[in-house]
Copies of this chain bind each other. A is one copy, B any other.
Amino acid sequence: MANLQDIGVSATINLLSALAFLVAFALLRLQPINDRVYFPKWYLKGIRGSPRRSGHVHDVVNLDFNMYIRFLNWMPAALKMPEPELVEHAGLDSAVFVRIYLLGLKIFVPITFLAFAVLVPVNWTGETLEHEKGLAYSDIDKLSLSNIPPASKRFWAHIVMFYVFSFWTYYILYKEYKIIASMRLRFLASQKRRPDQFSVLLRNVPLDPDESISEHIEHFFCVNHPDRYLTHQLVYNANHLAKLVEKKKGLQNWLVYYENKYERNPSQRPTTKTGFWGLWGSTVDAIDYYTTEVEKISTEEDVEREKVLSDPNSLIPAAFVSFKTRWAAAVCAQTQQSSNPTIWLTEWAPEPRDIYWENLAIPYVKLAIRKLIMAVALFFLTFCFMVPITFVQSLANIEGIEKVFPFLKPIIEKKVIKSVIQGFLPGIALKIFLILLPRILMTMSQIEGFTSLSALDRRSAEKYHMFILVNVFFGSVITGTALQQLQKFLNEPSTEFTKTVGDSIPMKATFFITYIMVDGWAGIAAEILRLVPLIIFHLKNTFLVKTDQDRDQAMDPGCLDFPVSEPRIQLYILLGFVYSVVTPILLPFIIVFFSFSYLVYRHQIINVYNQKYESGAAFWPHVHRRVIIGLILAQLLLMGLFSMREAEKSSLFLVALPILTIWVHKFCKGRFESAFVKFPLQDAMVKDTLEKATEPNLDLKAYLKDAYVHPVFKSSSIEQTLLIDDEENNTLVPTKRTSHRGSKLPSEDNSETDAYAGC
């Protein structure tokens, strides 16, 4: 076991690497050339403009050395923006996401103080380890529960404190749920007119032999929602068209690349090969080749577009139905339309950006089968993922490679390369799997048939949370593959199982401390550096960018990676609960993680991320539930731990805690969850009345006309309107934006940006 000194060394190393990331970040972000990597949000908002291309050095490199001194300035700047403004600036999803870190702080800062004030002295004076001679122990163990003799009365301190911790957590969870529910309601109420307020997503429209889908929908709603039904928008199966558009974009990028190349070096026309990735095939003139390819695909696209729009078979039995008032839409979304609950399904329309178009047309039976298959697949993925990886590893050794590629033998046999391969190969399969895992989980969620991106994200987070719980937490505590754990769990009495796990928990404290530092501290510092987007931006900037518009498209602001980040936070919260009474020394590490992450993510959502959708913090019930799961796990494990220390009697006093926790969960759920899944009629009515009073002549039908058109059709029509707009009045967009911000000059806007960006 590691002692305090080892931990100190490890902490220093990780602190230094985190610091290195931070310094690199501080240096890189001050360079104007990286501005679009570190402040894309402000560009997207139209507040920050491009520096003029004058060719001066200080457009590329920052020469104001004063700024380098204050290189940590971004930290207070990230905290400066008040929350309401943050919600307006970055959306409620982002603002609430950083509140999860705040939740961690709110729970664990008081717990840490209490634990250090009460439990650390109790443990330190336990005097068990000192008396048992011949036993190696460290200072950390002296601070932990291991230093208490079995069946000691001192355990009562731990039990009482754990009750206090649990009740404190209940209180914070309740309060936070309440705050976020009211934030969501306020957010929804304050929102301006949006298409999804008036619309429901209608699925599984039954086919009628006498009527087209459109007529059938119109008749149904005219009869069953008379005087309230307004219009509907059919959904086309444009998946193939979307693929063509995507392909065209790639070809256009290559065309631009070669054109730029030719521009810089006009003496030689660039060539390419026609085969896969330009690696083989006959050599041709690149610009001509790609020009014809783009033209070819453009015609193909036009044909496909025509086909989709005219062919009735490309209509999906789903539609977006819009109503005259928000009240009517709320009613339709919350009620059942037909006596057959598998047809005429209505639900709240996601906002247009949030729709996952591919899944809109899955019938009920298929959906049920897909869910069954994915549930089984998730089970195998979680418990048996090591099987194929071990198999790949057994293949990917030196002998295997020599067998398949005999010509590589002379190179591989070299000593240096051999040792690299031997050290590197076994791990790489696992590493690749872990990198691909979120993508795999997302695909599984997509197969399950969710219709909005936000629902997909939430579902993937759930899967990832399960994976982390089984493979990281229990995997580390029990040691052994998940499958072995499962066997252990099935073949041991459930009380015995919690006992074994509970018993090995104190010994794993140092491991988890190191884990927090590597995965938490250094990982977060790497997040702020944005190395991958930085490199990609500069590659694109060098080879593809011609105009400022190109440069804007080249930047990749990214977005909050909810399905990965949230389950990770939950792991730290679980660790905090488990070790709060066992090894309180772990708590400060978690607190550092939470506060550092809070800072970094607040900075990122202000300056970088551009959310793909806005769900209005619809994920909070999931966050709440997973914190509750963590708390219950901790309570069960502690019961096991205490009964192993011959404190059976006192362990009985903990039985009430899991029951209480489940009750608190149910209570909060009943009290607040509906704010996240339903929309109250009262609020809808208020908004309707207000709108009727302020805008009596609103033409809602025109407003909703193109709201729910597949993005493939939209982009082209938008491009067209933009072109027309540009001819007529080319300051339309900026005007709109500055008018919203009042009469400030652009330079003032920039300074405002800088106030939050901190440079």
Q: Residues of A at under 8 Å CB distance from B?
A: 185, 220, 223-225, 327, 330-331, 334-339, 341-342, 344, 364-365, 368, 371-372, 375-376, 489-496, 659, 663, 666-667, 670-675, 678-683, 685
CA distance A666 to B364 in the complex (A): 12
**Extra A-B contacts (6), CB below 8 Å, given A341-B671, A368-B670:** A335-B335, A339-B675, A339-B680, A341-B673, A364-B671, A375-B659
Q: Does B337 lie within 8 Å of A331, measured CB to CB? A: no
A683: which of B339, B491, B496 is its contact (CB, 8 Å)? Answer: B339
Q: Does A330 lie within 8 Å of B341, measured CB to CB? A: no
CA distance A372 to B681 in the complex (A): 31
A337: which of B338, B368, B675, B681 is its contact (CB, 8 Å)? Answer: B681
Q: Does B491 lie within 8 Å of A678, measured CB to CB? A: no
Which residues of chain B are near A493, meaning CB under 8 Å?
A: 490-494, 496
CA distance A335 to B493 in the complex (A): 46
Q: Which 3 A-B pairs give the minimum distances between C-beta atoms? A: A341-B674, A336-B678, A334-B335
CA distance A341 to B339 in the complex (A): 27
From A498, which residue of chain B is reached at the shortest CB distance?
B490
Which residues of chain B are near A666, meaning CB under 8 Å?
A: 368, 371
Q: Does A682 lie within 8 Å of B337, measured CB to CB? A: yes
A678: which of B335, B372, B683 is its contact (CB, 8 Å)? Answer: B335
A495: which of B341, B491, B683 is its contact (CB, 8 Å)? Answer: B491
CA distance A651 to B338 in the complex (A): 44
Closest chain-B Cβ to A204's Cβ sits at a distance in Å of 12
Closest chain-B Cβ to A301's Cβ sits at a distance in Å of 39
Which residues of chain B are near A489, meaning CB under 8 Å?
A: 494
Q: Does B185 lie within 8 Å of A339, measured CB to CB? A: yes
Closest chain-B Cβ to A370's Cβ sits at a distance in Å of 11
CA distance A220 to B339 in the complex (A): 30
From A368, which residue of chain B is reached at the shortest CB distance?
B667
CA distance A220 to B341 in the complex (A): 31
Q: Does A672 lie within 8 Å of B341, measured CB to CB? A: yes
Which residues of chain B are near A375, meaning CB under 8 Å?
A: 659
Q: Does A681 lie within 8 Å of B368, measured CB to CB? A: no
Which residues of chain B are near A368, meaning CB under 8 Å?
A: 663, 666-667, 670
Which residues of chain B are near A495, meaning CB under 8 Å?
A: 490-491
Q: Does B659 lie within 8 Å of A376, measured CB to CB? A: yes
Which residues of chain B are near A679, meaning CB under 8 Å?
A: 336
Interface pairs (20), CB distance under 8 Å: A185-B339, A223-B685, A331-B331, A334-B334, A334-B335, A337-B681, A338-B682, A339-B680, A339-B683, A341-B670, A341-B675, A342-B670, A364-B671, A365-B667, A368-B667, A368-B670, A372-B659, A372-B663, A490-B493, A491-B495
